[in-house]
Chains A and B, each alone.
Chain A
Amino acid sequence: GAVVSQHPSRVICKSGTSVKIECRSLDFQATTMFWYRQFPKQSLMLMATSNEGSKATYEQGVEKDKFLINHASLTLSTLTVTSAHPEDSSFYICSARDLLAGGTTEQFFGPGTRLTVL
């Protein structure tokens, strides 16, 4: 149980284009999903918290107009990197909390999406 998928796993795009990354909880419902970014040899940095049916909450320093998040259902959240630039190249990872997990805060991570912007 607690499987989270991401698509695509790897994407290469030209500077100025937009890239959409999907995050799905496969065997549970997730009211909350989280989006992280990880640069080489660094730890995970939370970008935003995505709540089903409401606007995402962005961490300080993360541009909400550049990183568009949509959480349309209890099993799907998407992150769109708009007008991508080489400095956006990173490993993007989503995670999800199980709706039925009650007070626990365990998060289950997707396999990640490696974005390379040329």
Chain B
Amino acid sequence: QKEVEQNSGPLSVPEGAIASLNCTYSDRGSQSFFWYRQYSGKSPELIMSIYSNGDKEDGRFTAQLNKASQYVSLLIRDSQPSDSATYLCAVAGGTSYGKLTFGQGTILTVHP
């Protein structure tokens, strides 16, 4: 079983729609959760971090964390073509304190 697993994608949504990205993790002791966006040929860019159960909103982005279900998600409202990228879920803490473990990424395409 992969330590961090994301919905495989690719995910395609029309402009203006909500994109939903999902991630599960295996280390129940994990404490920190991140979503990174990576454009082709570029390095990852941090877009959201979440540390406690519930929702965290930042502009068009909402991260949701459910530690009991070992599940974290990212919602992108009013998706724009510029949101088209690979989204990486990363988890830290637990047995790998300080180190990030990345999921395989979900490719999102927002079409006009």
Contacts and interface: CB of A to CB of B under 8 A. Distances in A.
B and A form one assembly = yes
Interface of A: 32, 34, 42-44, 46, 49, 93, 95, 97, 104-112, 114
28 contacts: A34-B100, A42-B104, A43-B104, A44-B88, A49-B98, A49-B99, A93-B44, A95-B100, A104-B32, A104-B49, A105-B31, A105-B97, A105-B98, A105-B100, A106-B32, A106-B46, A106-B49, A107-B46, A108-B46, A109-B36, A109-B43, A109-B44, A109-B45, A109-B46, A110-B43, A111-B43, A112-B42, A112-B43
Q: For the complex, would chain A's binding face be called helix, strand, loop or mixed by DSSP majority?
A: loop
B49 A32 contact: no
Given A104-B32, A105-B32, A111-B42, A97 B88 contact: no
B61 interface: no
A93 B51 CA distance: 25
Nearest to B101: A46
A46 B36 CA distance: 15
Contact of B99 (A34, A109, A114): A34
Interface string B61-92: 00000000000000000000000000010001
Interface string B93-112: 10001111111110000000
Nearest to A111: B43
A84 B41 CA distance: 21
Interface string B25-50: 00000011010100001111110010
Contacts of A108: 46
